[in-house]
Structure 1
């Protein structure tokens, strides 16, 4: 019998502005759809200036059959501090929360409790800061928020902005294991493993990859990363 798998992806959209300097949300959504993911964790999904309207329009996303998890403002931002999640209808959303993060610039994480083919699952989407000291503080803040919530299997996904091997992030994240994600930045010639997926001991990663197919090479300065997650036997 084949074990249930849940494909989770993470993608920094760069506000849907590609390397050709064109804002093409249709192109960004083309890349998202090509991932064949059950859940996509997004960063830089809204425009920068208040009221931070969605760079990826709601109607475009919903037309392609995605649930938009309610982190943003109705009719306005798609996410919170640029962080969002899209889910296929097979997933049931139980609860969503914002997590305030410390730092020199406004940062936040988003947390969703879901019913999935793997059972209950918590997914946290992050976009950590550029300064390493604050990245570690932010990672600890995320894990404190997780610890204050009902216990369930956990996946972390997002742009961790960490160029080095994630040893320090592992220390800050406790028992969470970082999957061996491929390099995803910069998109044209990836050398940095900034975009990562991590999981608790109750879960395994059966397969992992970076999506290089056109137009991902030009749709953003990051390539999307995906992982097929299973329950640990």
Structure 2
């Protein structure tokens, strides 16, 4: 975070469990390099592995890390992180993660699953920034594919904000909303005072899926209590060879 301008840089990215489109190649190491190059202070990740058991042969062939993938991605750049499982299976789990250059005061993973085969959660972390110890609420989300799921999960999200985020504390909500019909805002009550970064600065949601020809605006960055400065969609060059989602980068000022 820039201490002079009181700016904070964020990134949100659905990493597709470390695989490129079609799961043809395991590219987690390249993802780590590209994410680190952005210089983001806080990174919101979806579809990231916690535990993932692989045979020694497969681990060697794929350059598969032994530690949880969110720890591998955090590496030396982000000393603080939180992880919330939202899918658990026989050989592992995956979910949402928040990587941060600043310490967490607290974090909680909220289960918002409606169906056994469609596990979803909201990861809510409170981060302390700078000498002033400003509290920033960060919520990493990955909502369901079905309209019924998203409707109830958005209601759970609005309740979480109303009950657990004080109005005078800044907040960023980022992740994969799977909201290609652009209906999320209908579920956010007027008194929540939420705005979307790309809509504010560019007039419309960023189209992020699929990365090779982005058509659907499923990834979002909502905020309040902050001033948006800039935003970028990362979908070209090396980013095109990684996940099936584009990443979104944003800069805010307090």
Q: Under TM normalisation by the shorter chain, which class is it?
A: 0.7 to 0.9
Tell me which residue corresponds to 2:140: 125
Work out which of the two has the higher radius of gyration on C-alpha atoms and give 1 or 2: 2
Tell me which residue corresponds to 2:153: 138
Tell me which residue corresponds to 1:216: 239
Q: Moved runs in structure 1, 4+ residues, more than 4 A?
A: 47-51
| C-alpha distance in 1 between matches for 2:75 and 2:165 | 33
Unaligned runs of 5+ in 2: 55-65, 86-92, 199-204
Residue 119 (structure 2) aligned to one of 79, 94, 106: 106
Tell me which residue corresponds to 1:10: 12
Aligned length: 221
Unaligned runs of 5+ in 1: 74-79
In 2, are the aligned partners of 1:16 and 1:55 still within 8 Å (CA)? no
Higher strand fraction: Structure 1 or Structure 2? Answer: 2
What TM-score results when the alignment is normalised by the length of structure 2? 0.77
Question: Could you say what the CA RMSD is over the residues aligned between the two structures, in angstroms?
Answer: 3.0
1:223, distance to aligned residue in structure 2 (A) = 1.1
Q: Is 1:95 matched with 2:89?
A: no
What TM-score results when the alignment is normalised by the length of structure 1? 0.83
Higher helix fraction: Structure 1 or Structure 2? Answer: 2
| C-alpha distance in 2 between matches for 1:55 and 1:18 | 19
In 2, are the aligned partners of 1:12 and 1:42 still within 8 Å (CA)? yes
In 2, are the aligned partners of 1:15 and 1:55 still within 8 Å (CA)? no
Structure 2 CA distance for partners of 1:81 and 1:136, relative to 1, 3 Å = farther
SS of match in other structure, 1:71: strand
Q: Considering Cα pairs closer than 8 Å and 6+ residues apart, tell me whether 1 or 2 has the greater RCO.
A: 1
Q: Is 1:42 matched with 2:45?
A: yes
Structure 2 CA distance for partners of 1:47 and 1:4, relative to 1, 3 Å = closer
| C-alpha distance in 1 between matches for 2:69 and 2:52 | 15
More off after superposition, 16-25 vs 3-12: 16-25
1:61, distance to aligned residue in structure 2 (A) = 3.1
